[in-house]
Structure 1
């Protein structure tokens, strides 16, 4: 079974600012809850994402258990969208599409995640009991951080 997670958020900034933030792998840790212990483990130069970029990291998504995750950046459309796809990790498959749409208030950022759990029936059960809530928590945390970064007036 393929699951779908969608979110959107208005960012009160220009496209260059939004793109620079989201196209830097180094900002992933800033928008990931601290309890997940997100660490990029391969050497990533301070360059924006590009098609074919591989990002290896360690995370502790549940119960403090550390696991490795490898993603590949695909389909980069500069200042419009990009997709990261899991090559190795906790899901049977994971594809995260990021889209940036200019509007009169700045940038509407949309996320569409399609993912599938491993282990058949057991994976679906774990999804219903734990994973779905954990992903909602991660995206809610991300929303709050991005509100502070992009939508809080600085005085």
Structure 2
């Protein structure tokens, strides 16, 4: 079992951070180019809600079915791969107020690659380096929407 953890601060109140992640547009916003996300079925974030989607790596789709559990309005949620490319995937999104204007986001992923040829592919697409790049991108996008865009909209 592999463990990946990424923490960062956002200059935004806890409620705004939670609302950003609860928005059904969040996954599309947080998916970096050149990857494209196509939704097949997407339920609003709630306990036991389901998201079915394909991540397109160029011309190659990778289909996922994720189940959301431990959904808390302000503290975060966990998504578990029910069907998908990995042997297992458990991604916990945690939000914690640092003060009334700052929130710490912690992304923790426990994952396991399958055996065989599929495992070789997932070791490329979901390597620790790929995850690090993905979450730096997600950090940048989250800050863009919650810090910069919000400040522009207020003026």
| TM-score of the two chains, using structure 2 as the length reference | 0.85
* Counterpart for residue 140 of structure 1: 136
8 A contact 2:42–2:50 mirrored in 1: no
1:117 aligns with 2:113: yes
Task: Output one character per residue of 1:79-133: Cα deviation in whole Å (capped at 9) or x when no partner.
Answer: 1121000000111000000111011241111110000000169837962x55312
Equivalences, count: 149
User: 5 Å matches for 1:53-132?
Assistant: 53-61=49-57, 64-104=59-99, 105-119=101-115, 123=119, 127=123, 131-132=126-127
8 A contact 2:86–2:119 mirrored in 1: no
The RMSD of aligned alpha carbons is 2.2
How far residue 34 of structure 1 moved from its aligned partner, in angstroms, is: 2.5
Distance 2:146 2:26 in 1: 14
Give 3-state SS (helix, strand or coil) of 1:34's partner: coil
How far residue 37 of structure 1 moved from its aligned partner, in angstroms, is: 1.1
| TM-score of the two chains, using structure 1 as the length reference | 0.85
Give 3-state SS (helix, strand or coil) of 1:58's partner: strand
Unpaired stretches in structure 1, ≥5 consecutive residues: none
Give 3-state SS (helix, strand or coil) of 1:21's partner: helix
Distance 2:5 2:24 in 1: 21
